[in-house]
Chains A and B, each alone.
Chain A
Amino acid sequence: GNSVTQMEGPVTLSEEAFLTINCTYTATGYPSLFWYVQYPGEGLQLLLKATKADDKGSNKGFEATYRKETTSFHLEKGSVQVSDSAVYFCALLNYGGSQGNLIFGKGTKLSVKP
């Protein structure tokens, strides 16, 4: 079946530090991959996505590359800010036939200290 595994949190960093949140997946076929972010008290927002192998998604300084050979989609940011503190979710979408739902990882809580 389809599944997503992402690193356990919480992750605590100082402002301007480098961020990596690991995400690996198991899926049949060719899924699309996503990173969603959830700020306190809010719903999830799409951060970035990639729809095929070797695609790089990027947004707000965050990047992730769809690596089919390692079944990974790690999230990176070169210099985090306090405002990046949130929970980050990796997800895959394997559509076709009657499928159409996102499969989410458990989420990784990021805290950035000034």
Chain B
Amino acid sequence: DAGVIQSPRHEVTEMGQEVTLRCKPISGHDYLFWYRQTMMRGLELLIYFNNNVPIDDSGMPEDRFSAKMPNASFSTLKIQPSEPRDSAVYFCASSYQVRNEQFFGPGTRLTVL
């Protein structure tokens, strides 16, 4: 199994640009999570899906952030417009059923200039 796949691994963009982060969960997993990691705030859950349906998006910072899961094998996190304070590492994770181990992807390091 390839594990959770995220792309791109690194993204550098300018303030105001749209950024799209992508995630492919492990096949058969029914939960998908998006996290953000910064030095100041640590690891924060942004949103999670169950069977492609968003369950809790209370961690999404503001309307500039949106996430979709059009099918069981693909999810996107979009930031529009991006701001320098969005610079962070964004992780996607997936699990089979809620109480089992979450498997994390390698992350996308986003830098907004």
Nearest residue (CB) in B for A36 is: B104
Q: Does B14 contact A (CB under 8 A)?
A: no
A46 touches B101 (CB 8 A): yes
A51 vs B97: C-alpha distance when bound (angstroms): 15
Which A residues touch B50, using CB under 8 A? Answer: 100
Contact size class for A? 20 to 34
**Assuming the A-B contacts A43-B107, A44-B104, are A107 and B4 also in contact, with contact meaning beta carbons closer than 8 angstroms in the complex?**
no
Q: Does A112 contact B (CB under 8 A)?
A: no
Interface residue total, chain B, C-beta cutoff 8 A: 21
B56 touches A107 (CB 8 A): no
Q: Does A20 contact B (CB under 8 A)?
A: no
Q: Does A104 contact B (CB under 8 A)?
A: yes
B48 touches A106 (CB 8 A): no
Taking CB atoms and an 8 Å cut-off, the chain B residues in 25-47 that contact chain A are 31, 33, 42-43, 45
Supply 16 A–B pairs (Cβ within 8 Å), ascending by A: A34-B101, A41-B106, A43-B91, A45-B104, A46-B101, A46-B102, A46-B103, A93-B99, A100-B31, A100-B48, A100-B55, A100-B98, A101-B45, A102-B45, A104-B42, A107-B42
Residues of B participating in the A interface, judged by any CB pair closer than 8 Å = 4, 31, 33, 42-43, 45, 48, 50, 55-56, 91, 93, 98-99, 101-107
- Listed from nearest, the 8 A-B pairs whose CB atoms lie closest are A43-B104, A100-B98, A104-B43, A44-B104, A106-B42, A101-B45, A95-B98, A46-B101
